[in-house]
Amino acid sequence: MSETFDHTAIRVIAQQLYRSGHETEAKQLTVLAQAMNQAQARLSTGMMHDFRVLSPRAWAEANGFPAVEHPMDDGDGDLYLDEGLLPSWRAAAAAWQAKERQPLLSIAAARATVTTIGWALHGQTGQTCDEQFDVLSPAGDFLCYDPYWLPWLAHKGVFGCIAVARQRLMMDFSGSDEASLPPGSILVTSRSNWSHWLLDHLSRVRIAVPRPGRKAVFGPLRPSQRRCLPYVGIDPADVVEVEVRCTRLIRHAAEDLTVLSPVPKKMAFSWLRDRFTARRAADGPRRVYLSRWRQRPRHRVDNDVEVSALLEARGFRTVHIETLEFADQLAVLAHAEVIVMSLGGDIGNLALCNPAATVVMLTSRLYAETPPPEQACREIAAYVFGCGLPVVPVYGEPLTPEDRSLDAPAVYAPAVVDAAVDRALALARQRSS
């Protein structure tokens, strides 16, 4: 390897984390260091492969693949920064704006390998696997859409034996299965997570809609995901769903493969919203609360019953959107002027809603105050500010004082929620006047 990991430094940092009470982070760091040791040992035996991690444009240039840049003509508009935003959120908004306008690329790869792997969501067995797609070139370069995921994948052991050192990655191909894609395929990719599916994968169709003879490549799609395809112009006959196995790599050989870059979040929201709301129902509720109470224990709003009662008294309709058919989800959101929801996986539903809506976003105070840099750029900035709608934040007190995670259940003071709704309704009136 041209770059190595300093394991002594890692052990010192882990010990410091333990002493300061950050046991979870210390354990993750220790596991990562162990994976690095194992990977480096196996690399010398030829069982591991060492890859450079490159952005889409650099990947195309390194391999001599033609890359076409596509115009970015939607998703513009002023960014609304609410008076209640914490400094961490304001900093995240500034960082996001600086990085948002990445070029849209379609890359014509004469020959490449697409690797797929899945893992059980939240570490629970028996669940549908989430998917990960990566593209390797014959020259040994690794196209990484999102380096944010690499450390997470490393300590989860998603590739069996994986390690990250700056912009390098080692992957274990021993025992992987072989497959192939139809020549001339367009790699769209997919995830089982609803928001990631819409904003990080389906939105790529904006760059190139598959035509007859050019298959769109996805992972296994759920029925709700297949129902989205006609809205973005994809004929189900032009779809290939490749197999993804939990904890086992599959390498798909591909020729004449079109690789699509991710679409900036604000553009993804805008483009999807235009297509979904074009077929919206004639009428629907004007005030909606997207409750996650039925998704316990990952419901996030611990006093959901109290919050629901408060909002219903103000004319809101409480909706458990995961229980609705896709057409009914569109009908509920397409005319909503104010939407109250918690920060997390439901944020993809803002790609289905009324483009004139205002959002009240509930999130744990500790998570909002001190988000790690990766979370600040992704969960907060890319998805919250990228939705292109005014967002009024409400910060709740987590049940566990040390829990700074996105999934931390929190209690939301009724008076604070009430004041945020007042602010959101005032914004909604301004937008409609």
Residue 217 resides in a domain:
yes
Q: For the chain, how many residues are written?
A: 433
The Cα-based distances of 101 to 73, 74, 302 in angstroms read: 11, 11, 37
Using the Cα atoms of residue 295, residue 301, residue 307 and residue 312 in order, give the sign of their dihedral: negative
How sure is the predictor about 247, in pLDDT bands with cuts at 50, 70 and 90? low
Q: Decide if pLDDT at 46 tops 60.
A: no
pLDDT number for residue 283: 81
pLDDT number for residue 72: 76
Return the CATH number at 294. Answer: 3.40.50.2300
Q: Decide if pLDDT at 116 tops 90.
A: no
Q: What is the average per-residue pLDDT within 284-288?
A: 93
Q: Which range has the top average pLDDT, 107-121, 173-187, 210-224, 335-349?
A: 335-349
Domain boundary (227, 262, 297) is at 262
Question: What's the distance, Cα to Cα, between the start and end of the chain in Å?
Answer: 62
- 367 and 252 part of one domain: no
Helix (H, G, I), strand (E, B) or coil at 64: coil
Q: Please state, in angstroms and rounded to a whole number, the distance separating the CA atoms of residues 215 and 238.
A: 5
Helix (H, G, I), strand (E, B) or coil at 42: helix
How sure is the predictor about 138, in pLDDT bands with cuts at 50, 70 and 90? confident
- 243 and 354 part of one domain: no
- 228 and 298 part of one domain: no
Phi then psi dihedrals of residue 320, to 5 deg: -100, 85
- 25 and 54 part of one domain: no
* Residues facing 395 on adjacent strands: 363
pLDDT number for residue 349: 94
- 294 and 172 part of one domain: no
How sure is the predictor about 310, in pLDDT bands with cuts at 50, 70 and 90? very high
Domains identified in the chain, total number? 3
Q: Decide if pLDDT at 215 tops 90.
A: yes
Q: What is the average per-residue pLDDT within 337-354?
A: 92
The region of weakest confidence among 102-111, 161-170, 399-408 is 161-170
Q: Which range has the top average pLDDT, 143-147, 174-178, 408-412?
A: 408-412
Q: Decide if pLDDT at 408 tops 70.
A: yes
Residue 84 resides in a domain:
no
- 395 and 419 part of one domain: yes
Helix (H, G, I), strand (E, B) or coil at 404: coil
Residue 288 resides in a domain:
yes
- 165 and 210 part of one domain: yes
Residue 126 resides in a domain:
yes
How sure is the predictor about 126, in pLDDT bands with cuts at 50, 70 and 90? very low
Residue 360 resides in a domain:
yes
Q: Give the distance, in angstroms, between the CA of residue 259 and the centroid of all CA atoms in the same chain.
A: 19
- 23 and 40 part of one domain: yes
Residue 244 resides in a domain:
yes
Q: Decide if pLDDT at 213 tops 90.
A: no
Closest CA to 205 of 274, 287, 298: 274
Domain boundary (217, 236, 262) is at 262
Closest CA to 255 of 137, 144, 173: 137
The reported pTM is: 0.82
Q: Which range has the top average pLDDT, 188-202, 267-281, 310-324?
A: 310-324
Domain boundary (210, 229, 262) is at 262
How sure is the predictor about 416, in pLDDT bands with cuts at 50, 70 and 90? very high
- 182 and 307 part of one domain: no
The average confidence (pLDDT) of the chain is 80
Report the DSSP pairing between strands 168-172 and 48-54.
antiparallel
Q: Please state, in angstroms and rounded to a whole number, the distance separating the CA atoms of residues 200 and 261.
A: 10
pLDDT number for residue 351: 94
pLDDT number for residue 368: 84
SS3 labels along 337-369: CEEEEECCHHHHHHHCCCCCCEEEEEEEHHHHH
Residue type, 368: A
Q: Which residue has the higher pLDDT, 370 or 183?
A: 183
The region of weakest confidence among 13-17, 283-287, 419-423 is 13-17
- 398 and 318 part of one domain: yes
- 42 and 61 part of one domain: no
Q: State the CB neighbour count (10 A cutoff) for residue 397.
A: 14
Which tokens belong to 325? 């058919």
Q: State the CB neighbour count (10 A cutoff) for residue 378.
A: 20
Q: Which domain holds residue 207?
A: 48-73+102-262
Residue 242 resides in a domain:
yes
- 65 and 188 part of one domain: yes
Q: Would you state the torsion angle of the CA atoms of residues 132, 373, 370, 348, taken in this order, to the nearest 10 degrees?
A: -40
Residue 221 resides in a domain:
yes
Residue type, 343: L
Q: Which residue has the higher pLDDT, 370 or 271?
A: 271
pLDDT number for residue 279: 73
Q: Please state, in angstroms and rounded to a whole number, the distance separating the CA atoms of residues 183 and 110.
A: 10
